[in-house]
Amino acid sequence: MVRPSQLLYPQREPAPTRPAATVLLLRDTAGGLEVLMTRRAMTASFAPGAYVFPGGGVDAADAAAHSQSTRRASQSDLHLTQAIAAIRESFEELGVLLARHADGSYASTADIAALDRKAPFAGQCKARGLTLAGDQVFVLAHWVTDRDLPRRFDVPFLVARMPEGQSPVADEAEQFEPVWVHPAEALARHEVGGFFIIFPTIRTLQRLETYETVDDVLKACASEQPLWTSCPRAGLLAGKEARYMEIDAPYGELALTCPDGQILHPLDWQTTQPVRLLKNVMRLTAPNPGMMTGPGTNSYIVGDTDSGYIVIDPGPNDAGHIQRLFEATGGRIAAIVCTHSHPDHSPAARPLQALCAGHPPILGLASASTARPDAEFTPDRSLSNQELLTLMGKGLEHNLMVILTPGHAANHLCLVLLEDGLLFSGDHVLNGSTTVVSPPDGEMTAYLTSLDRLSAVCDEHQIDFFLPAHGYVLGAAKQAIAHLKAHRLKREAKVAAAMKARPQGTMNDWLALAYDDTDPPLWPVALRSLLAHVERIRAMSTPFTE
């Protein structure tokens, strides 16, 4: 974990969460799936004026009403309580009642008219012989309100089919203007203004628009587990608040820089000055954006004014970038480390070294004979596995441990900042894309083995974050490795299937089959990794002979 002393902003305790439940009432139409939404009062304490799905807080009476509701055998007590809360809230706010008579028929308009929306709910239903239809309410998602907000909720987003014969009527106190809307239409209306929806609603509608029918949604929810879980984070983009889920590229960076939810970190990519990630870590992105480099190559500066600095991946030989690295460190560079020798990572090392009066050593691994001519590299000193590079200041140490990780390149290495649980992953693990493994210098089995090595390092040293050479900081480090390895093995299975289907095929034939889910303009790059997979498959299928 990051040392509290190195966090950029004072720690704080986010507001506690309150249990709540929200329900998406769905219906099929000739034009496709529709969802019921309603506008919150302008005086509401949370999301005033926003169009939402009906819902509200979970109370003790909801948990006490289990005996008055049907339930699925697989439905937990918690999920049943949440379902009952959603049924109650949809009745109180919109006059929609998910309850049945003994013959299985849903509550009628007359039943609803006979009930008082402001009186205790479950008892009234029981008095009219109505059983709550908790078994017809399914978990779609689980949202926890963002850490920066003063009022926070822990809320499942549930789904249910709208009962036939009922029509929503807003209570005109908390909710107004009920409307049936296609998810895509709601998103489009929000985009042009006049239909305000908040972040969780937007993301839920985006997921919902991929389904054609109510049955499709309910089938997707049959596992009793939420299809996604999220507590969003916010940063600044072009000076405005921007929110992100865990699956979004900036999420890990916001978790590192503002763990308690402060909306202070800028996410705009720029190359003119370093971005501070911690008190002892800065990132300066080189001005070399492109298809292979994303927003540019990230050079990292580790250390502080007392300890001096280590520069990781000084980048391409760009005079402006080199000068900015020198200025950011005041020239007090103790060492320059290259994670590997590719031309967007190592060429700036010698020019940067020449600027520094102390002539800091250039460290790394020499390029192998398999490296391309533009990736030849010889360090002043070669690093060994698990070697420590130490910076010492006034009572504070920063220890970088070397982890050898061949695969993307034969001389690739990563670095772990031990005190803060950070791993500088070079090109081995990226944010937003998978790295290219290009033979002969790149080798797929070595790459996968190195992923396993990094996974073990995450366990041993409690690594929470990767700081890649391209893209934002990546959080949930070990899960990211597992996802990356699964992706590689899934791709390899497609390659093997392509080879089996077209045994006399060319590499381009196999490429079209194995990378059919990849945009064709990226195929020339994908061809390199395809070759690495082919070589690995052939090596594994070759019988051993003495």
Q: Which helix (H) or strand (E) holds 454?
A: helix 444-461
Give the model confidence (pLDDT) of 315-342 as tens digits. 999 999 999 999 999 999 999 999 999 9
The topology (CATH level 3) of 17-231 is Nucleoside Triphosphate Pyrophosphohydrolase (3.90.79)
Residues 18-39 have a mean pLDDT of: 96
- pLDDT over threshold 50, residue 546: no
Nearest Cα to 173, choosing from 48, 54, 41?
A: 41
Residues 373-401 have a mean pLDDT of: 94
Residues 71-75 have a mean pLDDT of: 96
| C-alpha to C-alpha distance for 227 and 215, rounded to whole angstroms | 16
Percent of residues, the chain, with pLDDT higher than 70: 99
| C-alpha to C-alpha distance for 232 and 288, rounded to whole angstroms | 31
Residue 194's pLDDT is what? Answer: 85
Question: CA dist 517 to 56, 221, 433, 510, Å?
Answer: 41, 26, 14, 13
Domain 275-488 CATH class label: alpha beta
- pLDDT over threshold 90, residue 44: no
With vertex at residue 188, the alpha carbon angle to CA 187 and CA 193, rounded to the nearest 5 degrees, is 95
pLDDT, averaged across the chain: 95
- pLDDT over threshold 90, residue 174: no
| C-alpha to C-alpha distance for 279 and 302, rounded to whole angstroms | 9
| C-alpha to C-alpha distance for 23 and 131, rounded to whole angstroms | 18
Bridge partner residues of 416 (DSSP):
401, 423
The DSSP bridge pattern shows strands 175-181 and 32-40 to be antiparallel
- pLDDT over threshold 80, residue 418: yes
| C-alpha to C-alpha distance for 546 and 291, rounded to whole angstroms | 45
Residue 291's pLDDT is what? Answer: 87
Asked whether the beta carbons of 499 and 540 are under 8 A apart, the reply is: no
**pTM of the predicted model, to two decimals?**
0.92
Which residues, including other chains, have CB under 8 Å from residue 220's CB and lie 6 or more apart?
211, 227
- pLDDT over threshold 70, residue 487: yes
Give the model confidence (pLDDT) of 244-279 as tens digits. 999 999 999 999 999 999 999 999 999 999 999 999
- Please report, for the chain, the start and end positions of each structural domain, with discontinuous segments joined by +: 17-231, 234-268, 275-488
> Three-state DSSP class for 187?
helix
Residue 395's pLDDT is what? Answer: 81
Bridge partner residues of 224 (DSSP):
none
Residues 487-499 have a mean pLDDT of: 95
Give the model confidence (pLDDT) of 122-137 as tens digits. 999 999 999 999 999 9
Which amino acid type is present at position 179? Answer: V
- pLDDT over threshold 70, residue 373: yes
- pLDDT over threshold 50, residue 384: yes
Q: Which helix (H) or strand (E) holds 79?
A: helix 77-94
> Residue written as tokens 């009962």?
163
- pLDDT over threshold 90, residue 545: no
Which amino acid type is present at position 531? Answer: L
Rounded to a whole number of angstroms, the CA Rg of the chain reads 28
